Amino acid sequence: MISMGSRVWYWVIYSLLLLSKAWGRNVLLIIGDDAGFESEVYNNTAIHTPNLRDLSKRSLIFKNAFTSVSSCSPSRAAIMTGLPQHQNGMYGLHQDMHHFNSFDDVRSLPLILRQAGIRTGIIGKKHIGPESVYPFDFSYTEENSSVLQVGRNITRIKLLVRKFLQSQDQRPFLLYVAFHDPHRCGHSQPQYGAFCEKFGNGDPDMGIMPDWSPQYYTPEQVQVPYFIQDTPSARKDIAAQYTTIGRMDQGIGLVLSELYNAGHENDTLVIFSSDNGIPFPNGRTNLYWSGRAEPLLVSSPYHQKRWGQISQSFASLLDITPTVLDWFSIPYPNYKIFGKSVQLTGKSLLPALQSEQDWTTVFGSQSHHEVTMYYPMRSVQNLQYLLIHNLNFKMPFPIDQDFYVSPTFQDLLNRTVSGQPTSWFKTLHNYYYRDRWELYDRSADISEIKNIAEDPAYQDILKSMQNILQKWQSETSDPWMCAPDGVLEEKLEPQCRPLYNEL
């Protein structure tokens, strides 16, 4: 029998070994809020984003990166755990009446790093809980500050980054900077504009950020993505979005300057991405490409060979946790949730920094956005094929609060009700009402318009994709794996028992 004292010394020695491997290595994780491909890095010539452009010159640029869930809190929980929302328990938005939390036994990235002697910090939007699962040593978030100040005020963000980096604590660190830009704010602080584009711009009652030089765009200048209607209202909405993306870009420049000035230019892994699709039609809350696809830049000072190159390899935000653990040479812990062993289904992205990888598959899982928005979906994309399983397909697809009051959606709504042309690639009817299985060949149908799930020529592909998705759901202990026409009975074989509910 090992004594209590022996066990304590074992963990002390083990932690020191892990820390010795991680010494001299740090991580800066930057996440935008509802940010998309509106940057020069991804060939948007209408917008000016020099700081992202400069970061991309030191990064591997992923062209096929995807969130695992197109909703804020579930995505942030997935980033911080490496587990999809149905496995970590963050089914929907964390705050207020929504009240979603991760399961108590989940071992998150900040928790694992803390136990390995890595210092952790978060500045900006946290939006996940409970605190016991997501503990940070240094924390300035909406839980103890104004999210406008710690998430949009780039001067304040700069000073907080400086405070973190000037600490006397010399341990390796993970610093997570979570911008609140370019999230909509028209439903909560309409005085600042649809995207808070007026906040801090120096106008009367707007305040001022000394480090922000606002950039303004006309509706005629913007590039309208294929999934947004090309109307004056939508263009004006996108122009406001561009201004807040510009603020985030300038904030990223400030953060990187603080990192370099503190002497960490050549020892820090820098990752930039976003949490979910942009808050426009067919975007956020959807598992279509427009809701899942994300910018992803990974910059390593030790992997300069691929700086500025574009990777076609498929990446998922579920890969961030294993990537950070790999960077620090820290193994994923052996533990269980509700008696089931937990294993990461994501992978480290570090091999892609050395050579192109044959990664061709990513998964999606969504259950809620707001608590009233129950529309569970599961998806898998393999190469050009995307399969979406809509479990609640008998009900209309729900619309979230801040998107509903947006100029773009109100424009769609008003045009539909009045019988005017919407200039959109869908109708509200086929947006609301979806088939149970949606299968798209994106090589021939980039807009995902033609559902080929019932096409006899694609039945083998459909069955193969369904099997891949079902296997992943089983590996990740998905409670919805038998829905909507079966019930999960884990102690029986087969586990999915038929309901005979005519589905």
41-59 pLDDT, tens digit each: 999 999 999 999 999 999 9
Q: Nearest-CA neighbor of 274 among 51, 136, 71, 448? A: 71
The conformational region for residue 38 under phi > 0 = left, psi -120 to 50 = alpha, else beta, is beta
Q: How far, in Å, CA of 301 to CA of 307, rounded?
A: 9
Q: How far, in Å, CA of 458 to CA of 362, rounded?
A: 20
| Architecture of the domain made up of 21-347 | 3-Layer(aba) Sandwich (3.40)
Per the structure block, which two tokens stand in for 254?
A: 């400030």
Tell me the HSE value of 376 on the side-chain side, using a 13 A CA sphere.
13
Q: How far, in Å, CA of 75 to CA of 90, rounded?
A: 9
Question: Sign (positive/negative) of CA torsion 496, 344, 291, 74?
Answer: positive
* 72 assigned to active site: yes
What are the residue ranges in the chain where pLDDT is below 70?
1-21
Amino acid at position 275, single letter: D
- What is the DSSP secondary structure assignment for residue 71, as one 8-state letter? S
Amino acid at position 382, single letter: N
Per-residue model confidence (pLDDT) at position 43: 96
Per-residue model confidence (pLDDT) at position 146: 96
Strand 268-274 and strand 26-32: pairing? Answer: parallel
Q: Residues 314, 64: contact at Cβ < 8 Å?
A: yes
pLDDT tens for each residue of 201-248 = 999 999 999 999 999 999 999 999 999 999 999 999 999 999 999 999
Q: Return phi, psi of residue 277, to 5°.
A: -65, 165
Q: How far, in Å, CA of 435 to CA of 452, rounded?
A: 11
> What is the chain's mean pLDDT, rounded?
96
Q: Which residues pair with residue 340 across a beta bridge?
A: 337
Rounded to two decimals, what is the model's pTM?
0.95
Strands (DSSP E) along 266-422, which ranges?
268-274, 293-299, 310-316, 336-337, 340-341, 361-366, 377-382, 385-390
**Based on C-alpha coordinates, what's the Rg of the chain?**
23
In the numeric block, the tokens 């439903």 are attached to: 187
SS3 per-residue string spanning 425-470: CCCHHHHHCCCCEEEEECCCCCCCCCCCCCCHHHHHHHHHHHHHHH
Choice among 72, 185, 196, 482 that is catalytic: 72
Per-residue model confidence (pLDDT) at position 18: 54
Q: Return phi, psi of residue 136, to 5°.
A: -120, 140
The percent helix, strand, coil of the chain (3-state, each to 5) is 35, 15, 50
Q: Nearest-CA neighbor of 44 among 253, 180, 239, 230? A: 239
Q: How far, in Å, CA of 488 to CA of 482, rounded?
A: 6
- What is the DSSP secondary structure assignment for residue 133, as one 8-state letter? T
CA distances to 71, 131, 269, 270 from 27, in Å:
24, 21, 5, 6
Per-residue model confidence (pLDDT) at position 24: 84
Per-residue model confidence (pLDDT) at position 9: 55
Q: Which helix (H) or strand (E) holds 157?
A: helix 154-165
Amino acid at position 59, single letter: S
What are the residue boundaries of the structural domains of the chain, listed by start? 21-347
Spatial CB neighbours of 362, under 8 Å, sequence gap ≥ 6: 64, 66, 68, 292, 314, 315, 316, 380, 381
Per-residue model confidence (pLDDT) at position 219: 98
- Counted residue by residue, the chain has a size of 503
Per-residue model confidence (pLDDT) at position 23: 74
Q: Nearest-CA neighbor of 301 among 353, 255, 355, 249? A: 353
Asked if the peptide bond before residue 182 counts as cis, ω within 30 degrees of 0, the response is yes
DSSP, collapsed to helix, strand or coil, labels residue 320 as: helix
Taking every pair of Cα atoms in the chain, the longest distance, rounded to a whole number of angstroms, is 79
